[in-house]
Structure 1
Amino acid sequence: MRPIIEFCANNAHFGTDEMMKKLKEQHECDVYEYGCLTGCGMCYLTPYAMVNGETVEAETADDLYEVILNKIKELS
């Protein structure tokens, strides 16, 4: 089963929009962007995403990318 990676559109100011593109192009996963992931303001505080329903976050978008890749490896 391919991992599902979900992003909040309001989180793009951290650079997560570029990370979404890289994930779509380079990895075997399904990437979705929603207007809200109901993180209740989390999108304004830190870069984050959901990987198979589990919230992951990091200090920067680049760090988040690495966290997501590690999570994908865990699921394999």
Structure 2
Amino acid sequence: MAIKVKFCPCNFEDELEGIKEKLRQRSDLEVIEDRCLLYCGQCLIEPFALVDGRNIVTDDPVKLLTAIEQYVAEHKNEAVR
């Protein structure tokens, strides 16, 4: 079962495109763009993604990739269950 990584298409759209592409290359992740993630306003302030429902937030798009990869590595076994 793939871990779902959801992005708001309005959230740092240009800066996050490369990160989304890197994540799409992973077979263990499903990258989804969803217009409303119910974190209204956050998309204008800081880069974020929902990873299996968990809000992962950083102050920089590159740090977001690192944070997502770290979260996935720590929680991969839980997603398999």
TM-score if structure 1 supplies the norm length? Answer: 0.90
Question: Once superposed, what is the RMSD of the aligned Cα atoms?
Answer: 1.4
Deviations 1:13-56 (A, max 9, x none): 46112211110014520000012211010000000000000100
Alpha carbons 2:56, 2:64 under 8 Å: kept: yes
**1:70 equivalent in structure 2:** 70
Name the SS of the counterpart of 1:11 in structure 2: coil
Using the aligned pairs only, state the percent identity: 26
Looking at structure 2, the residues matched to 2 and 57 of structure 1 have their Cα atoms a distance apart, in angstroms, of 21
CA distance in 1, matches of 2:55, 2:15: 17
Q: Which has the larger radius of gyration?
A: 2
Change over 3 Å in CA distance of 1:30–1:13 after alignment to 2? closer
Equivalenced residues, count: 76
Greater than 2 Å deviation, 4+ residue runs: none
Query: Following superposition of structure 1 onto structure 2, how do residues 34-53 of structure 1 map, counting pairs within 5 Å?
Result: 34-53=34-53
